[in-house]
Amino acid sequence: MTENTVLQNDFLWGASTSAYQVEGANLEDGKGPSCQDVKTVPEGTSDLTVCADHYHRYKEDIALMAEMGFKAYRFSIAWSRVIPNGTGKVNPKGIEFYSSLIDECIKYGIEPIITLFHFDMPAALDERGSWSNRDSIDWFANYAKTMFENFGDRVKYWLTINEQNMLTMVGPLIGTMVLPENCENPLKEIYTQNHHMLVAQAKAMAICHEILPEAKIGPAPNIGIVYPESCKPEDIIAAQNANALRNWLYLDAYVFGRYNNLVWSWLKSKDALPKVEDGDFDILKSGKPDFIGFNYYSTATAKEWEGEAEEGGALSQQENGGEEGLFKGVHNPYLQKSEFGWEIDPVGFRSTFREIYSRYHLPMIITENGLGAYDTLTEDKKIHDDYRIEYLRKHIEQIKLAAEDGCEIMGYCPWSAIDLISTHEGMVKRYGFIYVDRDEFDLKSMERIPKDSFYWYKKVIASNGEDLD
Ligand code: BG6
């Protein structure tokens, strides 16, 4: 490792995946179905039965990650693989799988970073009301405790809930939102679910600190600052509203154990305050993160609200039409877009670090960042993904600038270690350093082929971020 680099010498270089998008073996070895296994997948996209078949090929995959020089691998545990019904009986085969996966990482000196919940509620718990059911707080806390007890001897870094803000804002799109039949006040219901998640993850953090004093735990929301479209004062107010709704609601609750006042007032005006019980704020305050993990793909831009309510609403994790009365989402003319329509904003990455750090003063780790693109396998079995290298290079440059700004940054785990199935755009939207030879519906050879970005990232890691050419 190069000495005297901008980034700390123990910087956690790695990459991320999630269980339901990468593992496959979705009902094998006693795994119960999750909401992802019972949802209707978007037309023209693969189902989630095989994915990258990581469940069977993890040894080969981890060996490739080790070849890149990974210091960390962020993956998630499928709750219904270890506790098939979400509560009750533990599945020994599920425990065995993650135990071997962890050991395989450690064998190569790769730090496992475990996400407890990444978009895959056990289907049995969805049938019991999912996050609408107040019991979900204890379901999750007990599941988390079981994971700490089984893997805490080897796992130092834990993440609670992946993109809780997106579960709340675009749940139907990623197949996670369950509302009670004939729900009379959906907004209130959604923010009550969100409240249950806040309390559940705080409980999990407190339990982690109690039983694993050496471990570190944090959240993993999707954070990207929202710019005002202009310096018109009303646009500034709109951007503040959008930031509160998308970003600060979550981080304020995780770190300070309280609700963001702008969001609270808005929910009150809509008769949609979450159902809060006595003692909830004490629980929120009792579970403090050791660091902030966040996923960053882009920023957003907002102006004063105008138009009809139907023109608003979140469209994907990165696109938002706005919220009646609060803000209107607009495109940023200074930014280019990916092939899948997401704006690309490396400089916004730096601003996002600065903003998070100045608000919360906790170390940060990037738990996702990356470019979804159509990759082409050449006849001589190469993938020339210079566009991905360009994207990652520009973002790493901004990490270094943010570190020079005094932001404490612990690591970088872009999306994704290996090709996997996108949340709603199938296999063709690839993110990995490692190509998986399969199509949307044709499983082909499933061979693993390092992309050009694989060799580039290897150099980046070896030089601790100094060699970005
Ligand atoms: C994040 C999720 O929202 O973005 C991942 O945590 C997801 O699960 C990633 O795959 C990229 O989004 P998409 O929709 O392109 O798969």
pLDDT digits (tens, 9 = 90+) for 16-46: 999 999 999 999 999 999 999 999 999 999 9
Is residue 458 within 8 A of residue 69, CB to CB? The reply is yes
In terms of pTM, does the model score above 0.95? yes
Whether 431 has a pLDDT exceeding 70, the answer reads yes
Question: Which atom of ligand 1 is closest in space to residue 317's alpha carbon?
Answer: 3
Specify if 164 maps to a domain.
yes
Q: Burial level of 458, CB count in 10 A (0-12/13-18/19+)?
A: middle
Question: How confident is the model at residue 71, as a pLDDT?
Answer: 98
83: amino acid identity, one letter = I
CA of 33 to the centre of ligand 1 (A): 20
**What pLDDT score was predicted for residue 1?**
47
**Which of 22, 116, 170, 423 to mutate for ligand 1's pocket (most ligand atoms within 8 Å of CB)?**
423
Sign of the alpha-carbon torsion through 311, 313, 315, 320? positive
Mutational test site, ligand 1, from 20, 317, 369, 413, max ligand atoms within 8 Å of CB: 317
Establish if 3 belongs to a structural domain: no
Distance 160 CA to ligand 1 centre (A): 17
Selected catalytic residue, list 163, 189, 323, 355: 163
**What's the structural domain count of the chain?**
1
Average pLDDT in the 372-392 region?
Answer: 98
Please tell me the predicted confidence (pLDDT) of residue 3.
59
Residue 242 phi/psi, 5-degree rounding, is -65, -40
Cα of 343 from ligand 1 centre, angstroms: 14
> What's the CATH number where 67 sits?
3.20.20.80
Domain for residue 433, yes or no?
yes
Is 259 among the domain residues?
A: no
Query: In this structure, what token pair is assigned to residue 99?
Result: 């135990």
Q: Concatenated DSSP letters for 283-309? A: HHHH---SSEEEE-S--EEEE---S-G
Using one digit for the tens of pLDDT, what is the confidence trace for 63-83? 999 999 999 999 999 999 999
Residue 314, pLDDT score = 85
Ligand 1 nearest-atom number relative to CA 421 = 16
- How far is CA 11 from its chain centroid? 20
Rounded to the nearest whole angstrom, what is the distance from the C-alpha of residue 314 to the centroid of ligand 1? 15
Q: How far is CA 100 from CA 116, 124, 212, 370, 381, in A?
A: 17, 26, 20, 28, 31
> pLDDT digit string (tens) for 308-320?
877 888 888 998 8
Any residues with CB less than 8 A from the CB of 35 and at least 6 apart, and which? 119, 120, 121, 122, 123, 126, 130, 175, 176, 178
| Closest atom, ligand 1, to C-alpha of 174 | 14
Q: Name the residue with the closest Cα to ligand 1, atom 16.
A: 422
- Quick one: how far is CA 152 from the chain centroid? 21
DSSP 263: H
Tell me, yes or no, if 163 is annotated catalytic. Answer: yes
Q: What is the percent of the chain where pLDDT is above 90?
A: 95
Looking at residue 367, its pLDDT comes to 98
Pair 87, 142: CB distance under 8 Å:
yes
What is the residue range of 115's domain? 12-223+292-298+343-462
The answer to whether residue 178 is domain-embedded is yes
Task: Give the pLDDT band of residue 286 (cuts 50, 70, 90).
Answer: very high
Separation between Cα atoms, residue 8 and residue 436, nearest integer Å: 32
Would residue 382 count as lying in a domain? Answer: yes
What distance in Å separates the CA atoms of residue 122 and residue 426, rounded to the nearest whole number?
21
242 falls within a domain: no
Residue (of 393, 372, 375) closest to 456 by Cα position: 393
Average pLDDT of the residues of the chain: 96
> How far apart (Å, rounded) are the C-alpha atoms in residues 296 and 334?
18
Q: What are phi and psi of 155, to 5 degrees?
A: -105, 125
Q: Report the pocket of ligand 1 as residue ranges, CB < 6 Å.
A: 18, 21, 162-163, 166, 222, 295, 317, 368, 372, 415, 422-425, 429
- Which stretches of 26-162 are DSSP H helices? 35-38, 54-68, 79-82, 92-107, 123-126, 136-151
What pLDDT score does 313 carry? 85
Region 252-265 average pLDDT: 98
Which residue minimizes the CA distance to atom 5 of ligand 1? 423
Q: Quick check: is 129 in a domain?
A: yes
